[in-house]
Amino acid sequence: MTTTNDKKQSSTRFLKRKIVDSDTHELIGRIYDLGIVEMNFDDYDTLASYPDCKYVFHCGASMRSLVRRVESLNHVGGLLWVDPKTWVANTQVTDRYTWLNVASDVLLMRLISVHDCSLHLVNDIYEYGLAPRQCTMRGLQRKGLPDALYGMLASQREDHEDLRHERNSRVHQGWEREHSSCDQSFRMAAWFEHLGQPMKGTDSLGKQVNLNRYMKEALVELQRDHNAALRKLSKRLNEIYDFLQPEFEARFHAKFNDPVNGFGYKQRLAGK
């Protein structure tokens, strides 16, 4: 996380936008493909009477939540790669400074929650049966989570520890990052611009008040956090998916080929 003093000397050149792949891993496609089994049932109770179908249903639900949350980080990028020069105050629902605060909130909340969504997927694949509030690292560990997977999940969390701290500070303490080299001038000038009364003069650094420059400083910092976080996230998620895939297949096939309760067996699909 960059401090205000650091930003005074930082570059304001826009970064190349990082796009994260949200649904390309083989495990995701596999679970999605198997989810078509839901079309054979009119209600959950009937579906849940077959362990293989119930297993796919629950793994699919947690996987979809995780994929949507990862994909949403690409949508957040749309808030960060905007051209300050094209900002027209009278056509925006809020001022520039508030826009940046909202974008920061969305980025931080959605990024940090990917870890929580990952825990829920692990809970369903290993069939630990933890309630949502108990689905934590400690809760999973108590259920017998493999050490290797625990390490991957811990690394995923640690990758974004600084941003997690900022998220918690923003949510629980009302703290907000400063967005430019002269944050007070930026906040005030943005509000006056929104009211249709452009502010002129110099800021505390002796420079001309320049909303485009202030906003670009803020956007570049957020872009830097966004891109760095997504690079780490892609690597960690692929590691976790690679580890989960054989576990999912082993559990699914055992249920699918069960001659007593397997829907796959009863549909004469056993062995596939």
Instruction: Judge whether 12 lies within some domain.
Output: no
Give DSSP secondary structure letters for the chain: ---HHHHTTS--PPPPPP---SS-SHHHHHHHHHGGGGGG-SSHHHHHTSHHHHHHHHHHHHHHHHHHHHHHHHHHHHHHS--GGG--GGGSSS-HHHHHHHHHHHHHHHHHHHHHHHHHHHHHHTT----GGG-SHHHHHHTT--HHHHHHHHHHHHHTHHHHHHHHHHHHH------STTHHHHHHHHHHHHTT----SB-TTSSBP-HHHHHHHHHHHHHHHHHHHHHHHHHHHHHHHHHHHHHHHHHHHHHHT-TTT-HHHHTT-TT-
Given pLDDT bands bounded at 50, 70 and 90, which one contains residue 118?
Answer: very high
Classify residue 188: in a domain, yes or no. yes
Q: Is residue 2 very low, low, confident or very high in pLDDT (cuts 50, 70, 90)? A: very low
Kindly state whether residue 9 falls inside one of the protein's structural domains: no
Give 183-229 pLDDT, tens digit per residue: 999 999 999 999 888 888 988 888 999 999 999 999 999 999 999 99
User: Distance (Å, rounded) from C-alpha 2 to C-alpha 7?
Assistant: 7
- Number of domains present in the structure of the chain: 1
Residues contacting residue 79 through CB under 8 Å, at least 6 positions apart: 99, 102, 103, 106, 107
Tell me the residue range of the domain where 101 lies: 23-266
Q: Please, which pLDDT band fits residue 117 given cuts at 50, 70 and 90?
A: very high
- For residue 100, which of 202, 228, 225, 195 has the smallest C-alpha distance? 225
Please give the pLDDT value at position 268: 72
Average pLDDT of the residues of the chain: 91
Count of C-beta atoms within a 10 Å radius of residue 65: 15
Assigned domain for 212 exists:
yes
pLDDT range class, residue 245, cuts 50, 70, 90 = very high
Residue 13, in any domain of the structure: no
Residue 93: band (very low, low, confident or very high) from pLDDT cuts 50, 70, 90: confident
Flag whether 167 is in a domain: yes
Would you say residue 49 lies in a domain? yes
Give the pLDDT confidence score for residue 264 in this predicted structure: 86
Does residue 171 or residue 112 have the better pLDDT? Answer: 112
The predicted-structure confidence for 28-70, as pLDDT tens digits, reads as follows 999 999 999 999 999 999 999 999 999 999 999 999 999 999 9
Contacts of 204 (CB under 8 A, 6+ apart): 182, 184, 185
Q: Above pLDDT 90, what percent of the chain? A: 74
